[in-house]
């Protein structure tokens, strides 16, 4: 990491990292829950239910519905990724916002490879982002499977 950036990094104790990470986890769970709740409410509208009833899973309408659902789920995840990126940028834990967004995306998705380096003082926060990312992607996967089951069950 660039030494000029390192001088600006906000310091954090182990407990501070855990506390900030816990706050971010809570924020992400709330955002995710609200996102899935909103998506579920949209899917339960009569007009949408009628379209789902008429759609065949391997039809144009079925594929459009599936793609729209995937994009909606990805949008919910992006909101959470951006929250972590803004935090990393605020803490000066990475050298730029672009690096913060890239680092946050690969941490959340638990890809684990990064040529963007996070300041040593904030590595635990990045690990917590990876843990919450796995859990929330699992939640989205369960939601998506349930929605596809509804489409195929008709």
Number of structural domains found in the chain? 1
- State how far the Cα of 77 lies from the Cα of 82, in Å rounded to an integer: 9
- pLDDT single digits (tens) 70-108: 999 999 999 999 999 999 999 999 999 999 999 999 999
Range of the domain at 129: 3-152
Q: How many CB atoms lie within 10 A of CB 101?
A: 20
Q: What is the pLDDT of the chain when averaged over all its residues?
A: 87
Cβ atoms within 10 Å, residue 90: 11
Segment 37-50 mean pLDDT = 80
If one compares 82 and 61, the residue with the highest pLDDT of the two is 82
Give mean pLDDT, residues 31-54.
82
DSSP state of 110: T
Average pLDDT over residues 117-136: 93
């Amino acid at each position: 990491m660039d030494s000029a950036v390192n001088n600006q990094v906000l310091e954090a104790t182990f407990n501070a990292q855990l506390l900030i990470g816990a706050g971010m986890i809570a924020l992400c769970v709330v955002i995710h829950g609200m996102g899935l709740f909103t998506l579920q409410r949209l899917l339960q509208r009569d007009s949408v239910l009628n379209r789902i009833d008429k759609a065949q899973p391997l039809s144009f309408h079925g594929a459009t519905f599936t793609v729209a659902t995937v994009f909606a789920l990805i949008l919910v995840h992006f909101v959470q990724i951006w929250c972590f990126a803004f935090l990393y940028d605020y803490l000066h834990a990475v050298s730029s916002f672009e690096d913060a967004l890239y680092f946050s995306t690969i941490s959340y998705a638990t890809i684990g490879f990064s040529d963007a380096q996070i300041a040593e003082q904030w590595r635990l926060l990045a690990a917590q982002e990876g843990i919450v990312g796995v859990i929330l992607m699992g939640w989205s996967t369960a939601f998506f499977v349930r929605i596809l089951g509804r489409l195929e069950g008709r």
